[in-house]
Structure 1
């Protein structure tokens, strides 16, 4: 059967009509999708930038500075990176132009999207059948690094473009460029050109960068782990030559400058002398800085603050080296390590010059130097017994005290080994660290008066401490090495209290001084009491329990021991051992013990070990500081 000819023509017309309708529908759909994409681009970027304005304030490594003004620690950012921000005015013009020439030469002409660059990247990627070029502008790179991840998806690219356009509306070109040059990752954990210049060239003043150094820096963002000069000198040199060629083409340098810069040999900056880690000191200074400013320690770490401290690098280094010597410490327990802490205070001004919160402290570890958790034993007697007795005016170092067993209700203090002489002078009782005379004397002086005396030295006792056992250092809460050093520093300074502190001054990233320590000294005990106590404490070191603290200079101090007193353990087993003392220059407190004392982990050494560590550290420390 044959159909009419016009039916075939009508069928084709119908097919064409259906095709045009579908094409129209597709066009309408594409237009709608385009409008949606345009709306999304406009709204998403504005929303993201408006909602997360804090992202535009880049975290910056704060710096802990020593007493001589040099850097002790740059505090790492989360992820262990470092950033030192710089204003655009601090950067040489050639550095800025080099980055523009390499990364986005139409940066000052587009609105965040370099359409020519995007088209070029699309053509090249299509030709190579792979994503080898991104075509991202500097603003897009900043948007991606600040707000997005590095996934190569269409949605991420759309978001990147949207945020870039929003940033261009909100910020000036110079503001974007400054953010970019401070935010960009430069390899080796360094963020921003200032940190990179210091890490790779030892240059802290960006205006002093030379052409070859600028070319190296401008070439790094392409592949930070590949093109930084430390990890791959050869590839860095090739990249430098390429960048120099671009700089020449853009008219930024001359041919002779290019050749000279290409021929310069890279030498990493000389290794600085090993600085003390000062982990415990840094943690203590951050806590103090937070207390005096009201700024959280987290913000202090990443806010680009300069925290100028009183740390003496020579003293801190000597202290850290001494703590590395295993033979200086009592034996470890069965399953725990014997720990120690030490604080050194300049009693002439109250500055804490060195600190160790443990034998191998790491960031976030327990800082035993400032933790009020240890029983001071007989090292507390000068603070709560003999000092108050002298200050009362009723007793002198030659006063005769009974040395016999007494019962105070249910409390029956005993001398070591139950040895008694019948009577002792106050000086002899302190020298021998006899317990019976100390408790008797505290009762005579009065608990209220003694506690008030201790508070003048910086140690506040609780209501639970209102008993005679405090004469032997039996405290409800415990005390820290720092507070013990603070208290003894009053004796060392002739009766003057100066608050122990680590922080001298705090400056924000703009150079504004937020806090400055104002020295304050107040006489809290008489010079006579302080002098008599010093004489007595020197006798303790010369002839008594502190003999192992002797040095080639006058030393005054007192040992302290708290017994373990657990059934089934050696009677000589101890929980804590102490020595607190001072030379004419500085005051220091040493504690040794276990973080958790039990039948398997306790001190088998006496307080002489703490006295010996005091002498070893202080001799080395004072020798270091005299150089």
Structure 2
């Protein structure tokens, strides 16, 4: 009986041993296979992603783009990081990094003891490779399964990459608080330092202390806890012989002063937001390079623009004055958009796509959706007439009620003067002479003229109503400014653009704008148009656009709401497009959706006034 019991016990032990061996073998296979599979199936997780930055005309950073939905990154090669910075992270996070194969069993053992003593999974014991695996492929859940998966991926990464490569990836992908990923992005965000070799010891220690608790140990959110954590890191660095006692004590005593990394302006001075302009820059970069917005955001490009701080601030200040928008309703506010560009090279200097622009929102400055009204007359009626050589500013035009087939335009207020000069007709924005001129010049010639100014019209616009700005699709302030810039630039055309140059992470040029300055209309046409448009501002409908220090040429534009049961004085779109010897600008005002409760009671004079308010502050 005893012998039988011993035999059964041996069988049970054998069976248990076989089960344990099988479980261990399965576990080992899982550890090896899972990590290899993750790396193979997610090749894009390991990338040299960096936030693309946008710079203004002065070379100041005005926007740093998020890398997809993660945050802000700026990739740095390991050779571009000072040894002391690398040692600070190694001493704090994984002192045996170069001596293990991804799993620090000493650290894991110490963590297990602590977890057992405290009855939780608070201690990770993760090596740098494990942390990198978690950051790239997993979430922060503190579960046994996640920990096993983390170990498996770490083992696979150690086989695929060298230690230096893993350290470089870690220092570029580690989360550093405040939506900053990697040491270079964090150094810029917290200390205003781009060259990592300029970091001081206390700053390196502060950065090395952040990964333990990015939300509480970054110096912006909790300066006190950051300093305490910095002190601990400095103590570790001294203990391991990385720094001297004197260096440790000196670095511990430094107090942190938050850095303004958004602008080079003096402390306390306003910083332009460039919300609409930044969105437009990315859209333009996508069109120029064929890259998607997501690709551009993480490409690490430097995009240099011609945007001007003074002009943008002037625009944002004026748009922020609610007293300028007296037609606001309780449930909806009047919208506005504006573009300023340099007619000599086509550079956009400032842009607002709305009164309260939001990133990724509607950019009314670049959307071809609004009827330009009488602001279109120089482009489609008077310009082509001058260019034909048949008419001059002094030419006598009929101002009479006329019918062109089924189309019969009318003057505002029903007043007709009999005859007027071309200059008088444009000065007082009289409708009948403009339609007559378009009819005389011909729709084909007018379409070609508008096309040379950068405005393409479709077959739907082959009608005389376009003389009064009645377009099928509509036009944007950017297109209107671009067209008027030809008059301002003696008949030479330049494409309106924001981007001067794009360079990649290595400083290689991807794109450079080449100014066209192409003569598209005669100098005499441009000169005559400028003279007439100056009269519009000095003594006509655009008088509110006058500037004391600059002579302004420009034209107002108004489209009526034409709503049943609403006064004929109700308007839909208000415009002013004008220029000085320096810059050209276009302003639009109105509601996004015009209806019986939302229309403009004001006339185009408020758009002219907004132009003047911005330009007197913006012009250099």
Task: Mark yes or no: TM-score above 0.5.
Answer: yes
Which residue number in structure 1 is paired with residue 264 of structure 2? none
Which residue number in structure 2 is paired with residue 346 of structure 1? 342
Q: CA offset at residue 272 of structure 1?
A: 6.9
The counterpart of 1:17, out of the listed 2, 7, 15, is 7
Alignment of 1:285-434 (within 5 A): 285-333=281-329, 335-434=331-430
Q: CA offset at residue 266 of structure 1?
A: 2.3
Of stretches 526-535 and 40-49 in structure 1, the one that deviates more from structure 2 is 40-49
The counterpart of 1:61, out of the listed 51, 56, 67, is 51
Contact map agreement 1:333 1:602 (CA 8 A) in 2: no
Which residue number in structure 2 is paired with residue 3 of structure 1? none
RMSD: 1.4
Q: CA offset at residue 608 of structure 1?
A: 0.5
Of stretches 574-583 and 68-77 in structure 1, the one that deviates more from structure 2 is 68-77
Change (3 A) 1:587 1:116: same
| TM-score, scaled to structure 2 | 0.97
Unaligned runs of 5+ residues in structure 1 are: 1-9
Contact map agreement 1:335 1:600 (CA 8 A) in 2: no
1:223 aligns with 2:213: yes
Contact map agreement 2:184 2:196 (CA 8 A) in 1: yes
3-state SS of 2:167 partner:
helix
1:135 aligns with 2:125: yes
The counterpart of 1:466, out of the listed 462, 466, 469, is 462
| TM-score, scaled to structure 1 | 0.96
Task: Return the alpha-carbon distance in structure 1 between the equivalents of residues 430 and 447 of structure 2.
Answer: 21
Contact map agreement 2:129 2:154 (CA 8 A) in 1: yes
Q: CA offset at residue 78 of structure 1?
A: 4.2
Which residue number in structure 2 is paired with residue 578 of structure 1? 575
Unaligned runs of 5+ residues in structure 2 are: 261-266
1:102 aligns with 2:99: no
Which residue number in structure 2 is paired with residue 74 of structure 1? 64
Contact map agreement 2:276 2:352 (CA 8 A) in 1: yes
Q: CA offset at residue 175 of structure 1?
A: 1.0
Contact map agreement 1:334 1:601 (CA 8 A) in 2: no
Q: CA offset at residue 152 of structure 1?
A: 1.8
The counterpart of 1:587, out of the listed 584, 587, 604, is 584
3-state SS of 1:108 partner:
helix
Task: Return the alpha-carbon distance in structure 2 between the equivalents of residues 499 and 583 of structure 1.
Answer: 18
Of stretches 454-463 and 265-274 in structure 1, the one that deviates more from structure 2 is 265-274
Contact map agreement 1:330 1:603 (CA 8 A) in 2: no
Task: Return the alpha-carbon distance in structure 2 between the equivalents of residues 589 and 243 of structure 1.
Answer: 56
Larger radius of gyration: 1
1:562 aligns with 2:562: no
Contact map agreement 2:310 2:617 (CA 8 A) in 1: no
Aligned length: 613
Task: Return the alpha-carbon distance in structure 2 between the equivalents of residues 272 and 261 of structure 1.
Answer: 28
Change (3 A) 1:330 1:483: farther
Contact map agreement 1:58 1:183 (CA 8 A) in 2: no
Task: Return the alpha-carbon distance in structure 1 between the equivalents of residues 341 and 209 of structure 2.
Answer: 49
Task: Return the alpha-carbon distance in structure 1 between the equivalents of residues 12 and 113 of structure 2.
Answer: 29
The counterpart of 1:519, out of the listed 515, 521, 537, is 515
Which residue number in structure 2 is paired with residue 252 of structure 1? 242
Q: CA offset at residue 193 of structure 1?
A: 1.0
Which residue number in structure 2 is paired with residue 166 of structure 1? 156
Q: CA offset at residue 268 of structure 1?
A: 2.2
Task: Return the alpha-carbon distance in structure 2 between the equivalents of residues 188 and 336 of structure 1.
Answer: 34
Task: Return the alpha-carbon distance in structure 2 between the equivalents of residues 52 and 534 of structure 1.
Answer: 60
Of stretches 292-301 and 265-274 in structure 1, the one that deviates more from structure 2 is 265-274
Q: CA offset at residue 62 of structure 1?
A: 1.2
Q: CA offset at residue 61 of structure 1?
A: 1.7
> Any idea what the Cα deviations from partners look like across 1:557-583, whole Å, max 9, x if unmatched?
000011111110011001101000001
Of stretches 603-612 and 298-307 in structure 1, the one that deviates more from structure 2 is 298-307
Task: Return the alpha-carbon distance in structure 2 between the equivalents of residues 449 and 300 of structure 1.
Answer: 41
